[in-house]
Amino acid sequence: MDQIVASLAEITGWPVKRKVPSEILTKDKFQHYLSTHVKDSAHDKDTRAEEQALKMFGLVPQDFNLARETEHLLSDQAAEYYDNNNKRLYIIDSTPPGEEQQMALVHELAHALADQQHSLGKYLNHGSPDSDESTAREAVMEGQATWLTWAYEAKRAGGKGEVPPRLLDQLTKESDDNKEFPVLDKTPLYMRESLLFPYNAGARFQDAVYRKMGQEAFEAVFARGPRSTQQILHPEVYFDMTATPGPIEPLTLAKIVGKQQAAQFRAVIEGAVGEFDHAILLRQYVGEEQGAAAARHWRAGWFRLYEHKKDGNPVLSYISKWDSPESAQAYFALYQRVLKGKWKKMEVTSATDTEVSGSGDSGRFTVRITGASVQSVEGLR
């Protein structure tokens, strides 16, 4: 471990400030550790609200249990785990010795070294409610550790401590198509891609910053974290200091149904809907190539989920902003295909060039385009 950390310090230019304590855990003990850290969605209101939002967008099935599936995914893949809260590395004893164990160890020690320079806990929990920015920051953390793992292997083989450009696409693509983990293979597209995104897209982002800034890149991505997943997907946007998501606000329920009816609901969760989210949503219901091309024109997005105080009926208010009225018009048409795809039944009662309304599985809906923005309200009864 000391040798690995010393080698990572040479690659990054970061000093080693202290030894990394470690502990070997059995698979059962690690699963117990996860179960105490991953909240049960049946009892935790925040997790349940996040789960309900995913269901309203059509990103997971109606019988999906977010907490349980998250625990299964983490348990299925873990070989080693660095806990940035207690600054300790856990090694799972069921991991077969060899190359897999070695690379997992390097990855987690890269986290430990970064944590000695910048508190990873503070970096990830930066106080912003923007969940898309949080995902981008996670991609910095995991992408950098992934990149450093490959760079370490290159250095150990006698090469330079960096990822050869010819291998980068191959390595991230191989990881995208990984079939080693059966739980990952069966999970919904959004959950699977959310798990892979920080490692694959994050590694490509780290490489792009490294090619531009050299060794300073490792410090730079923590000193100035990305503001959106768009900046991870398109590093040139990260380097453009003026290209940051603007503020955007979905319609409040009071403006939609009036104050009297709105008083029967409570807001339970809200957050950003970024380029990554839109790309996966469109990929699921429209197709990968067309979805990625349309999502590239994203500029901002936000949702707010309400819940009826008596019957628990959810209502989704969601707005997206695009780089031009033409891009918004394209998304307006594509999102109607999303609605049709995610519901078993959809009835359109009114349709114009700027507004479509009707009913679906979750209740009444209205989708409206105004300039470069598309607003949707779903679930009213």
Q: In this predicted model, what pLDDT tens digit does every residue of 312-360 receive, in sequence order?
A: 999 999 999 999 999 999 999 999 999 999 999 999 999 999 999 999 9
Q: Rounded to the nearest 5°, which phi and psi values hold at 243?
A: -90, 85
C-alpha 182/C-alpha 171 separation (Å) is 20
- Tens-digit pLDDT profile for residues 141-187: 999 999 999 999 999 999 999 999 888 988 887 555 545 455 566 78
| CA distances for 38 relative to 35, 60, 74, 75, 299, angstroms | 5, 19, 10, 11, 32
Q: Give me the chain's average pLDDT, please.
A: 90
In what order do the strands lie in the sheet containing 355-360? Answer: 265-272, 298-308, 314-322, 373-380, 363-370, 355-360, 346-351
- pLDDT of 41: 45
108 touches 145 (CB < 8 A)? yes
C-alpha 110/C-alpha 108 separation (Å) is 5
Within 63-188, where are the H helices? 66-77, 99-117, 120-124, 131-156, 165-176, 182-186
**Banded pLDDT at 271 (limits 50, 70, 90):** very high
What does pTM read for this prediction? 0.91
**Banded pLDDT at 122 (limits 50, 70, 90):** very high
**Could you tell me whether strands 298-308 and 363-370 are parallel, antiparallel, or unpaired per DSSP bridges?**
unpaired
Q: For residue 169, what are its two tokens?
A: 């696409």
